[in-house]
Amino acid sequence: MDIYKNSVHSAGNTTVSVARGSKADVLVVRGENPGFSGQVIDGEFIAPENHENAVVLRRVFPFTAPVPVLTRKRSFGVGDRLGIASYGHIRVFRKYDAAPVLAQQSIRELTLTHRDFDNVLDCASYAVFREDWQGGFGADGDHLKTDKEVEYALSCGYTMITLDCSEHIRNDVEDMPTEQLKKEYTPNAELEARYKDKSFKVENHEIHFTAEELMRCALIYGGAIEHADRIFHSYIKGKPVDFELSIDETATPTTPTQHFFVANELSLRHVELATVAPRFCGEFQKGIDYIGDLKQFESEMAVHAAVARRFGYKLSIHSGSDKLSVFPIIGRLTLGNFHVKTAGTNWLEAMRVTAETDPKLYREVHAYALVAFHEAKKYYHVTTNLNNIPALDTLTDAQLPELFTQNDARQLIHITYGLILSAKDENGNSLYRDRLYANWREHDELYAKRLEQHIGRHLELLYSQIPQD
């Protein structure tokens, strides 16, 4: 039996390790069985890596259970949509001290990948066990919008809740003429006493509220503040759970003044925030570098970071995949206190492995993605131009991996992941999913190496300008 060398762990009279099975890893249980279900094969008790056994594993080996990690100086979320990436991710976190959030998935991602919160967490737990990662990891129910979604993630033991307030944020106010603003705004003596014509000093920045700015803040964010207040006090308060406020999925960027307003209001309501994800200026499109004015980004980031420090939380940077040009700025201005989330780039690295190792399968998937693109585009804001992608029949097999250096090709594969993974033939059999998983299983060492390099590059840049103290 092929036992992974870091996977042997003992607790009491039990020793559990992980063996490489032909199709999937399995647990090997020796000594007393604390409750794993399985069967004896050739004199060994073999337990499959299913949900039931993951629950037992987390009970017997507590380091395989998630913990709140956002209170640590810096943290990094790696959404593993496929359930196979943590093995590579763990290698990165052995080199950098950012606390990993290995399980991180939104409801949209769960739907598109046909997974559930249990499965996402189980995959992380099994990886942590096999690789002997004892540094702790978080589990983030990402972009949750409703009470039901928050309750669902908490019931699965998630240690971080990212509350997406986008449905409570008004997108029609930013450009509203003053006259109409006045009509829409309900006078609020308390708010006016707090903000109207007042300035706040935040480190060496000054944040000023004109009467008009206050009306805009109240109209845009009033609903989101109510929502966050209610969710926090109903579900999070007093629990070992990190609470993140996400206001990034909006039509317009969050100005530093608006960020201050939201933070100050929530602080007055005793909402304890681990992180806030504003929407920054410029564009954080999926799977490609930052698009926008770096100077403006830098000057606004300086204020956002100062506001976060003032209220005692970390800035959270969403859609962090491949934003290589802004990472040094983020590391420097947050003084190394940040939370960054990536997801799609881990899937892209998996597809790059397929392009390298099974060109025939890659060509099929790519051709399907070109057809599926218009359907997928409904759910994402991307500026992909399919005409910029070289036609498949002009590329040799050896050139296929180079597609992943081209932004349009990256976004094509990025946003179609759900359709690719769920595509079925007329008999209901998966068109690509099973073959892709078999390919990734066969080349799992290559995939782990690629993630180590690629996510490592993200952290290297984030760390590159952190001021020494």
Which residues are known catalytic residues?
142, 244
Taking the complex as a whole, the smallest distance from the CB of residue 104 to Zn ion amounts, in Å, to 11
How crowded is residue 37: how many other Cβ atoms within 10 Å of its Cβ? 12
Q: How far apart are CA 106 and CA 204, in angstroms?
A: 37
> Closest approach of Cβ 316 to Zn ion, in Å?
8
Residue 216 three-state SS = helix
Burial pattern 299-314, b for ≥16 Cβ within 10 A else e, equals ebbbbbbbbbbbbebb
Q: Of the two residues 130 and 318, which places its CB atom closer to Zn ion in the complex?
A: 318
Residue 320 or 331: the one with the smaller Cβ distance to Zn ion is 320
As measured in angstroms, the least distance from the Cβ of 110 to Zn ion is 15
What minimum distance in Å lies between the beta carbon of 277 and Zn ion?
A: 6
318 vs 323 by CB, closer to Zn ion: 318
Q: Where are the alpha helices (DSSP H) in 50-161?
A: 51-60, 86-95, 107-113, 117-131, 147-155
- Looking at beta carbons only, is 250 or 384 nearer to Zn ion? 250
β-strands 25-31, 44-48 pairing? antiparallel
Q: Any idea of the CA torsion for 66, 71, 73, 74, to the nearest 10 degrees?
A: 50
Q: In which residue are the tokens 């180079």 written?
A: 402
**Residues within the interface to Zn ion (CB under 5 A):** 248, 318
276 vs 376, beta carbon nearer Zn ion? 276
Determine the 3-state secondary structure of 50 from DSSP: coil
What is the nearest approach in angstroms of Zn ion to the Cβ of residue 175? 23
Residue 122: phi and psi, rounded to 5, are -60, -45
Q: Which of 227, 302, 301, 304 is nearest to 261 (CA)?
A: 304
Residue with the CB atom nearest Zn ion in the bound state: 318
